[in-house]
A and B are shown apart, each in its own frame.
Chain A
Amino acid sequence: MSALAKAASAWRSTAEGVRHAPFVHAIAVVTLTIALFTAGLARGADALIQSLLASLGGEVRVTVYLEEGLPEEDAETLRRGLEQRVGGAATLVTPTDALERLGRELPEVRGLLVSLEDNPLPPSVELAVPEGRRTPEALRALAMEARRLPGVTDVEWGEEAVARLSAIARVLRLGGAVAFAVVLLATVTIVAATLQLSIYARREEIEIQKLVGATDRFVRVPFVLEGLLQGLLGGALASAGLLAFSRSAGPHLAQLLAFLVEGGVAPALLTPRLVMELLLGGALLGLMGSLLAVRRFLRA
């Protein structure tokens, strides 16, 4: 009964606080909205970059060259073994297939190729490496392992391109993490500062509450609820903003990136999961800001 009455009192006090200083609360909500909108946009951009990397990474193929004249059964055994090791598709390319492909890719020399007496191209196995194993280290290890197999003469895997892609991804992730930390810190500081204004506006009430026997927790709870509500509202507004942005700019972006992204479809900017993350993130930021502000005030 007492806890319920205290909760009811805290909600009344929260409502009173919002009514008392609406401008201060609006500033906090706008700050949170901007921060969360930016974070959401960054998440969307990250998903797009990941999609681009996956798309470009999909071009990375490991080609395992086999000995000329290797019997087809042995080549097939090798292909199966490699498929198992890699965990992705392994395609056996016979010398005939290779010659046909070369003819298709370079039509200007097709005539020359047809006139060859012997096919100079060796048989090979082409490996499609799954996304998680496209790091330079994993690919290097795979190449070394494949080279040691009997019947294998050489392995090619575009080391430089993979290393460059990985470096780009690393830099983007690191940059994103640093930007996120800066936005987080700035938001918590601004929310704490605005809530401190709200607390300052109600210092008289707090003083009287404490004089009549209010505990620190009793004083703290309404402000924490204010922070929580601000965060949730900020998260909801940021989601609405992202939805509006993706509706207006999404089709243009998809068109722009169609030739780069796998399947030609850019990932959705706003997903239900992102909405949940924004609401949760907003609530956490609001809570952190309010706890920081009240703690500072109560200590003073």
Chain B
Amino acid sequence: MIEMFHVYKAYPGDPPVLTDINLRVEKGEFLFLTGPSGAGKTTLLKLIFCAEEATRGQILVGGRNVARIRESAIPFLRRNIGVVFQDFKLLPHRTVEDNVALALDVLGVPRLQARERVRGMLKRVGLEHKADVLPLKLSGGEQQRVVLARALVNEPTLLLADEPTGNLDPVRTLEIMDLLRDVNVRGTTVLVATHDSTLLSRYQKRTVRLEAGHIVSDEDGVKAARRMVGA
């Protein structure tokens, strides 16, 4: 699903954010990307959905080289990638339903059909009764579930989540993580960037650790969880 070959990312005048990243993520895989703040987790995700451009190296997403993609082709790539942000990125003046429908609007899905799909997705994340509510009236966990619904409503093959539980309490964190696991079970490849070690030990998934822009370990779930417990 994702292949990265000798990927570098640097900003002029600053030390490199990512250095010689080589990574392969299989289709249908669930992967944690972990490391301290500033390790380069967010940048790595941004490279995958073309919010940033790699300084060097090749990145294949679904067989397509996004390091050389034309700007006009980026929207079409993003339609196959759902993205969940720590800061939600919801429109405060639009209802929950409108926020989720945004992902279908850009595809030109007719309003009635979109409404049906949105309602179905809200039901899946347990928010069908909040469709007409404004996001600011929701709790952090509910807002993150709206974001998840928006990311999944057009059935992407890849879901990227950047610290999706960073602003949530432990109960809401588990709600979101269970939803992500459920999405993965249904066949979507999921990449979750997090620095929360309790999630790694609880969910026991393949974990790639970044430090100062380098991959320092790439372990399967059990091994990573064992190390977390040991630590």
Contact = CB atoms under 8 A, between A and B. Distances in A.
Interface of A: 1-6, 8-9, 20, 204-205, 207-216, 218
Contacts of B108: 1-3, 5-6, 9
B121 interface: no
Given A204-B91, A214-B75, A209 B106 contact: yes
A20 B109 contact: no
A8 B110 CA distance: 9
Contacts of B102: 208-209, 212
Interface string B13-24: 000000000000
A209 B103 CA distance: 7
Interface residues of B, number: 25
22 contacts: A2-B109, A3-B108, A5-B105, A5-B108, A5-B114, A8-B111, A9-B105, A208-B90, A210-B75, A210-B78, A211-B49, A211-B89, A212-B83, A212-B102, A212-B103, A212-B150, A212-B154, A213-B75, A213-B154, A215-B72, A215-B75, A218-B106
Interface class of chain A by DSSP: helix
A214 B150 CA distance: 14
Contact of B110 (A4, A208, A215): A4
A1 B110 contact: yes
B93 interface: yes
Given A2-B107, A204-B91, A210-B78, 14 more contacts: A3-B108, A5-B105, A5-B111, A5-B114, A9-B108, A204-B89, A207-B89, A208-B89, A208-B102, A209-B102, A211-B49, A211-B89, A212-B106, A214-B75
Nearest to B92: A204
Report which residue of A3, A5, A208, A210 has the largest number of chain B beta carbons within 10 angstroms of its beta carbon.
A208
Interface of B: 49, 51, 72, 75-79, 83, 89-91, 93, 102-103, 105-111, 114, 150, 154
A213 B93 CA distance: 21
Contacts of B107: 2, 213
Contact of B91 (A205, A210, A216, A218): A205
A57 to B, nearest CB: 58
Contacts of B103: 212-213
Contacts of B75: 210, 213-215, 218
A-B CB proximity, top 5 nearest:
A2-B108, A213-B79, A213-B78, A214-B106, A6-B108
Contacts of A8: 111
A102 B2 CA distance: 104
Contacts of A218: 75, 106
A218 B105 CA distance: 9
